[in-house]
């Protein structure tokens, strides 16, 4: 990655309470994600009610929940909905490790807007091992799964393997819906 792509902390830069990464770093991670995701938008919301799917998989790559997405972009509320569904099925005292391609962004949102305060002490976030390289270096120091032993050798890329397994269905299901 070029040095120019890296955030440079300013004098008034800050780390929000309970976060470990500078706001400027998180902003740059967010900007790069928006740019990439914008190029991925292939289905128009004017033509389709459901544009994509988002899946939540366990450590063994088994799909636990799948949500229909109804917006062109990947909004954070889909991830929150999936995590909410999972939390309902787990004991309250469990701590969950969640690997997600923009984990740094949803971690920031949870704390900044005080979403789901009951989650805060029960979730540890990490960024998927291959997606991590699209994040700022300072973000990787905290969220890269190889930087903490809690992840073992989990890479978080189960969704990529899951979509790959389903690729044979693409031709027949490209334009379809749950109501058909």
Least distance CB 40 / Zn ion (angstroms): 18
Q: Which stretch binds Zn ion (CB under 5 A): 51-59, 90-98, 104-112, 146-154?
A: 104-112
Spatial CB neighbours of 83, under 8 Å, sequence gap ≥ 6 = 56, 96, 98, 116, 119, 123
Cα–Cα distance for residue pair 107/134, rounded to 1 Å? 17
- In the block, which residue shows the tokens 């991925």? 40
Q: Which stretch binds Zn ion (CB under 5 A): 45-53, 66-74, 99-107, 158-166?
A: 99-107
Secondary structure class of 78 (helix, strand, coil): helix
Verify binding: residue 107, Zn ion, rule CB under 5 A: no
Q: Which stretch binds Zn ion (CB under 5 A): 22-30, 39-47, 57-65, 170-178?
A: 22-30
Least distance CB 22 / Zn ion (angstroms): 11
Verify binding: residue 57, Zn ion, rule CB under 5 A: no
Least distance CB 29 / Zn ion (angstroms): 3
Residue of 104, 106, 128, 159 interacting with Zn ion (CB under 5 A): 104
Least distance CB 97 / Zn ion (angstroms): 16
Q: 29 vs 72, which CB is nearer to Zn ion? A: 29
Q: Of 127, 129, 140, nearest to 1 (Cα)?
A: 140
Least distance CB 41 / Zn ion (angstroms): 21
Helix (H) or strand (E) holding 156: none
Beta strands in 70-142 (DSSP E): 96-99, 123-126
Verify binding: residue 29, Zn ion, rule CB under 5 A: yes
Cα–Cα distance for residue pair 42/163, rounded to 1 Å? 16
Helix (H) or strand (E) holding 136: none
Q: 134 vs 158, which CB is nearer to Zn ion? A: 134
Cα–Cα distance for residue pair 6/136, rounded to 1 Å? 6
List residues near Zn ion by CB under 5 A: 29, 104, 135, 139
């Amino acid at each position: 990655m070029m040095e120019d792509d890296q955030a440079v902390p300013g004098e008034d830069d800050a780390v929000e309470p309970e976060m470990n990464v500078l706001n400027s770093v998180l902003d740059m991670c967010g900007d790069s994600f928006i740019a990439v995701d914008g190029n991925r938008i292939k289905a128009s919301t004017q033509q389709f009610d459901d544009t994509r799917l988002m899946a939540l998989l366990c450590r063994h790559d088994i799909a636990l929940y799948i949500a229909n997405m109804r917006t062109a972009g990947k909004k954070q509320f889909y991830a929150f909905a999936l995590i909410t569904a999972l939390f309902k099925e787990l004991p309250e005292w469990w701590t969950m490790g969640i690997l997600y391609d923009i984990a740094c962004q949803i971690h920031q949102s949870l704390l900044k807007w005080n979403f789901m305060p009951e989650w805060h002490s029960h979730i540890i976030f990490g960024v998927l091992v291959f997606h991590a390289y699209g994040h700022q270096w300072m973000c990787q120091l905290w969220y890269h799964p190889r930087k903490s032993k809690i992840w073992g050798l989990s890479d978080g890329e189960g969704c990529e393997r899951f979509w790959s397994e389903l690729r044979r269905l693409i031709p027949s299901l490209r334009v379809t819906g749950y109501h058909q």
